[in-house]
Structure 1
Amino acid sequence: MNSWDSRPTLLNLVNGNEDIFAGAVAMVPMNNIPKAIEIIEQQVVSNDKFVGIQLFTQALDKSIASVEYEPIFLEMSKVNLPIFLHPVFDNNKRDNNITFSWEYELTQAMMQIVQAGYFEKYPKLKIIIHHAGAMVPFFAGRIKYTMSDQEYRDFKKFYVDTAILGNPKALELAIDFFGSEHMIFGTDAPFAVMPNGATEQIVDAINEMRVSTTTRDDIFSNNFLKIIR
Structure 2
Amino acid sequence: MKIDAFCHIMPRPYFDRFFELDVSIHAENLRKRVSNIPALVDLDVRFKQMDEFGDYRQIINIAAPPVEDLGSPKVSKEMARIGNDSMAELVAKNPDRFAGFTACVPMDDPDAAVEELDYACNDLGALGAQIYTHVHGDAMDAERFDPFYARVAELGKLLQVHPCRSSAWSDYPNESRSKFEIWWTFGWEYDLSAFMARIVFGGVLERFPDLKLLIHHGGSMVPHFSGRVGPGWDQLGARTPESQQADVTGYPLTKRPIEYFKMMYADTAMFGAAHALRCTIDFYGADHVLFASDSPYDPEKGPGYIRATIKNLEEIGLSPSEKDAIFSGNVSRLLGLDPAAIRA
Pairing of 1:115-134 with structure 2 (within 5 A) = 115-134=201-220
Pairing of 1:186-205 with structure 2 (within 5 A) = 186-196=292-302, 197-205=304-312
Task: Say whether residues 1:152 and 2:258 are aligned partners.
Answer: yes
RMSD value, Cα: 1.5
- What whole-Å deviation, never above 9, does each CA across 1:124-147 have from its counterpart, x for those lacking one? 110000000111011000111122
Instruction: Give 1 or 2 for the bigger CA radius of gyration.
Output: 2
Q: Secondary structure at the match of 1:152?
A: helix
Structure 1 partner of 2:189: 103
Amino-acid identity (%): 30
**Structure possessing the higher relative contact order (Cα contacts under 8 Å, 6 or more residues apart):** 2
Structure 1 partner of 2:62: none
Cα distance in 2 between the residues matched to 1:193 and 1:203: 17
Which stretch shifts more, 192-201 or 109-118? 192-201
Write the letter of the residue equivalent to 1:115.
F
Cα distance in 2 between the residues matched to 1:134 and 1:6: 27
After TM superposition, give the deviation of residue 53 of structure 1 in Å: 0.1
Please point out which of 65, 68, 85 is paired with 1:8.
85
Contact map agreement 2:169 2:183 (CA 8 A) in 1: no
Q: Secondary structure at the match of 1:85?
A: strand
Write the letter of the residue equivalent to 2:317.
R
Contact map agreement 2:85 2:124 (CA 8 A) in 1: no
Pairing of 1:1-229 with structure 2 (within 5 A) = 1-48=78-125, 50-89=126-165, 91-93=168-170, 94-95=177-178, 96-148=182-234, 150-196=256-302, 197-229=304-336
Contact map agreement 1:45 1:79 (CA 8 A) in 2: no
After TM superposition, give the deviation of residue 42 of structure 1 in Å: 3.4
Aligned length: 228
- For structure 1, the 5+ residue unaligned runs are none
Cα distance in 2 between the residues matched to 1:6 and 1:128: 20
- For structure 2, the 5+ residue unaligned runs are 1-77, 171-176, 235-254, 337-344
TM superposition score normalised by structure 1: 0.94
Q: Secondary structure at the match of 1:157?
A: coil
